[in-house]
Amino acid sequence: MSEETLLLNRLRALEDDSNGYYVVLFHTSQLRPANRKKHYLDIAARAFDNLLSNFEATLYKMSSLDFVLMCHEVPVEEMDPVIHKVRQLFSEDPLTDSEDGSINDKFTTWYDLSQIGDFSTFVEKANVLAVEAAEQKRREDEIRSPNALPGERLGPKTAGEISQKLQSVMIEDLIREQTAVVMLPGAKGDVMFREQYVSMSDLQKRVAPNVNLFGSQWLFQFLTETVDRRLLSVLAARDLSNLADSISLNLNISTVLGREFQYFHQKVGEGTNKVIIELQMVDIFADMAAYKNARDLLQNNGYRVLIDGLSPLALQFFDPAMLEADLVKISWGQEFEAEGEEGRTDDMRTVVKSVGAENIILGRTDSEDAIVWALSLGINRFQGYYIDTVVEAMVVKGII
């Protein structure tokens, strides 16, 4: 029986006498996707262990990933530390920004079931959750149809086989392009560069349709080293000495310091000022000396170096200016626009000051709001799905 059904049955049993009962609903389904993971919530649920064993309380874990805590005669002050604990776990999530029990509290809702109004409101809520759960289960079953094999976990052995295949598989037709633009006053724009990348999901379909390449972060990173080399060799075969617009490539530092890049460099010739090399934060921090070598090597030869992979969260902890690159790409995230999130916009303001607005690109721009927000901070360089449509429109109008 599903948790939703168990909850509904319990509520039905309480219809006659709900004295001393109350419910705390945790809106954990509203966490950011990064935090809304089943194993995170399983860990969070353990915060209730003491309460459940010492009092008359039941925890229902909804399929939506919300928690319903049903209590009978549990002193309210016993609840507070538990809620606080769960909140703390997600303290970086905008959902927990408002204070416990404040008018803006989006994290929990309390229902006093002995009050007829609260009781019926909650029953309604429980019904909605049950319908949603059934709907979700139906969708999952559909996906798990007999034809679709579940994605195999990416282990070292599989990674080795995939890496072998990557050496020879055709990738020319999987190279995609995403344009970064500079927005200029008067609805004008300019191409800043065109990022060249291999579509990993298409590549997966070609080399390992049944393996989830993203299943293991480190093995995925390992595979990107081979992809880098293939991408470089394909691009090196093109005419790079006479590029109309600048291009950018996202590479591992080990690739930049390797042989294939040397060959690529020879092909680029005098055109290095039109090539931007994007490097990942995690790669940089893994070996700062290697990063400095790669950066100096690139900059001394006329390339521009871009730091990629900066999330809004990361900005709270580092100042990318210290890396002395030419450009910094920061991913747009809802944290930036959320209400009462002045603090996070302040982080961005600090970065604008230390890096220089003209050296910042807002990546993953997915809405008009993101653009408006960035422009208000002086940032006018963008990339992302929303920008793709803007670029298309500009091409149609002949602006670009």
Partner 1 sequence: MAEPDKASKHVPSQEKLLLDYLQRLDEHRENRKIVHLHLSKLKPYNRREHHVQAAVNGFENLIQGMFGQLFTLKNNDIFFFFTDNATAQTETVVQKVRFLFSDDPMLEDEPPNENRFSTWYDAEDQYEEVLKLVQNIMKVEEASKSRQQTRMDARSALKTRQKEGDPMTPEILARVEAVLERADLSNLMRRQFVCGVDRQMIPEQSFSEMFISITDLRETLTPGTNLMSNRWLFQHLTEALDLRVLSLLLKSDAVAISGDISFNVNVATLLSKEFQDFDDNIAASKRGSMIIELQNVDVLSDLGAFLFAREYVQDKGYRVCLDGLSYETMPMMDRERLGVDLIKLMWNPAMVDGGPDMHKNMRAMVKKAGPSRVIMCRVDNREAIDFGQSIGIGLFQGHFVESLIAEDNRRRELLRLKRRMERSEEEAEEEEGL
Q: Does 219 interact with partner 1 (rule: CB under 8 A)?
A: yes
In the complex, least distance from residue 166 CB atom to partner 1, rounded to whole angstroms: 12
Taking contact as CB under 8 A, which single stretch among the options 56-64, 99-107, 126-134, 215-223 is the one that binds partner 1?
A: 215-223
Taking contact as CB under 8 A, which single stretch among the options 57-65, 102-110, 353-361, 368-376 is the one that binds partner 1?
A: 353-361
Q: Which of 64, 114, 178, 311 binds partner 1 (CB under 8 A)?
A: 311
Which region holds residue 68: left if phi is over 0, alpha if psi is between -120 and 50, else beta?
A: beta
Q: Which of 9, 19, 54, 354 binds partner 1 (CB under 8 A)?
A: 354
Which amino acid, residue 215?
G
In three-state secondary structure terms, 206 is helix
In the complex, least distance from residue 33 CB atom to partner 1, rounded to whole angstroms: 10
Q: Does 307 interact with partner 1 (rule: CB under 8 A)?
A: no
**Neighbouring residues of 329: CB distance < 8 A, sequence distance ≥ 6:** 278, 306, 307, 308, 309, 310, 360, 361, 362, 363, 383
Q: How far apart, in whole angstroms, are the C-alpha atoms of residue 227 and residue 240?
A: 19
In DSSP notation, 27-48 reads -GGGS-TTT--HHHHHHHHGGG
Q: Does 334 interact with partner 1 (rule: CB under 8 A)?
A: no
CA atoms within 13 A on the CB side of 129: 26
Q: Does 111 interact with partner 1 (rule: CB under 8 A)?
A: no
Which amino acid, residue 4?
E
In DSSP notation, 48-115 reads GHHHHHHSEEEEEE-TTS-EEEEEES--HHHHHHHHHHHHHHTTTSGGG-SPTTSTT--SEEEEETTS
Q: How many C-beta atoms surround the C-beta of residue 288 within 10 A?
A: 10
Residues 140-179 binding partner 1 (CB under 8 A) are 155-157, 159-160, 163
Q: Which of 64, 212, 233, 293 binds partner 1 (CB under 8 A)?
A: 293
Q: Does 133 interact with partner 1 (rule: CB under 8 A)?
A: no
Q: Does 125 interact with partner 1 (rule: CB under 8 A)?
A: no
Which amino acid, residue 162?
I
Q: How far apart, in whole angstroms, are the C-alpha atoms of residue 198 and residue 250?
A: 10
Interaction pattern, residues 222-261, with partner 1; x per rule: CB under 8 A: x--x----------------------------x--xxx-x
CA 176 to chain centre: 21
Gyration radius of the chain over CA positions = 26
Q: Does 120 interact with partner 1 (rule: CB under 8 A)?
A: no
Q: Which of 124, 176, 218, 368 binds partner 1 (CB under 8 A)?
A: 218
Residues 13-72 binding partner 1 (CB under 8 A) are 32, 34-35, 39-40, 43, 46
Q: Which of 133, 191, 314, 338 binds partner 1 (CB under 8 A)?
A: 314
Complex with partner 1: residue 7 or 231, whichever CB lies closer: 231
**What is the size of the binding site for partner 1 (CB under 8 A)?**
66
Q: How far apart, in whole angstroms, are the C-alpha atoms of residue 100 and residue 105?
A: 6
Residues 258-287 binding partner 1 (CB under 8 A) are 258-259, 261-262, 265-266, 281-282, 285-287
Q: How many C-beta atoms surround the C-beta of residue 108 within 10 A?
A: 19
Complex with partner 1: residue 194 or 304, whichever CB lies closer: 304
Q: Which of 8, 89, 133, 243 binds partner 1 (CB under 8 A)?
A: 89
Q: What angle do CA 372, 377, 383 make, to 5 degrees?
A: 60
Q: Does 341 interact with partner 1 (rule: CB under 8 A)?
A: no
Q: Does 92 interact with partner 1 (rule: CB under 8 A)?
A: yes
- Residue 117: both structure tokens together: 């109004």
- Residue 174: both structure tokens together: 């999987």
Q: Which of 121, 221, 246, 334 binds partner 1 (CB under 8 A)?
A: 221
Complex with partner 1: residue 90 or 122, whichever CB lies closer: 90
Residue carrying the six token digits 């803006």: 104
Interacting residues toward partner 1 by CB under 8 A? 32, 34-35, 39-40, 43, 46, 85, 88-92, 155-157, 159-160, 163, 216-219, 221-222, 225, 254, 257-259, 261-262, 265-266, 281-282, 285-290, 292-293, 296-297, 300-301, 311, 313-314, 316-319, 321-322, 324-326, 353-356, 358-359
